[in-house]
Amino acid sequence: MGDNLEQIYRNLLTEIGENPSREGLLLTPGRAAEAMRYLTRGYSMDLREVLNDAFFEATGDGMVIVRNVEYFSLCEHHLLPFFGRVHVGYIPREKIIGLSKIGRVVDVFARRLQVQERMTTQIAEAIDYAIRPEGVAVVAEGRHLCMMARGIEKQHSSVMTSHVIGVFRDDSATRNEFLSLIRRDPDE
């Protein structure tokens, strides 16, 4: 993948009218290939390895929420970045998951060519599969360069997506508690 990806970027520079041999662009194909591999590293991440058995016995039935998990992804339609925050909540049944693992689960799915709607669902389903909680709720907020820098060019637009499973789907009070908590100012 290494040399071939670099050649693809070299060809891309030529196709847009640039000279990949000029001083400022000599190293660009290699840098761009390295950046693409980094931005799409989710394809080489295995969810089981990422979670690494970081499960612990649940000691209560309260809601666990991890807010403001930053993510960066690439739109599969335009190969342009989109980025934002993910909020994850779940109600344990028998197990809880290590808190840092939530961020790693987000990366598994964000670091691929993606659409925000699918990414949100994949994160929720992965957590549901891993620990079988009473329910999972995921809300993702994103800013998409494909909307901001091209097309309709709406720089202040953002996209929100959600996916709820179990008690978050079935019980509006539980869902509303989650939504209220992720909107709360942490300094309150």
| Residues 118/80, Cβ–Cβ less than 8 Å | no
Cα–Cα distance for residue pair 154/12, rounded to 1 Å: 27
Q: Which of 114, 116, 134, 163 is catalytic?
A: 116
Q: In the annotation, is 34 catalytic?
A: no
The two three-digit tokens of residue 71, written as one number: 């993510």
Q: In the annotation, is 122 catalytic?
A: no
Q: In the annotation, is 156 catalytic?
A: no
Q: In the annotation, is 78 catalytic?
A: yes
User: From the CB of residue 136, how many other CB atoms can be counted at a distance below 10 Å?
Assistant: 27
The two three-digit tokens of residue 17, written as one number: 């009218």
Q: In the annotation, is 116 catalytic?
A: yes
User: Phi/psi class of residue 46: alpha, beta or left (left: φ > 0; alpha: ψ in -120 to 50)?
Assistant: beta
Q: Note the residue count of the chain.
A: 188
Q: Which of 78, 125, 141, 177 is catalytic?
A: 78
Q: Which of 18, 125, 141, 146 is catalytic?
A: 146
Q: Which of 34, 76, 94, 117 is catalytic?
A: 76
DSSP-derived letter for residue 134 is: S
Q: Which of 6, 122, 134, 144 is catalytic?
A: 144
Sequence-ordered list of residues with C-beta below 8 angstroms from that of 3, at least 6 positions apart, any chain: none
Q: Which of 49, 70, 77, 94 is catalytic?
A: 77
| Residues 25/13, Cβ–Cβ less than 8 Å | yes
Closest CA to 130 of 188, 17, 46: 46
| Residues annotated as catalytic (active site), given as ranges | 75-78, 116, 144, 146
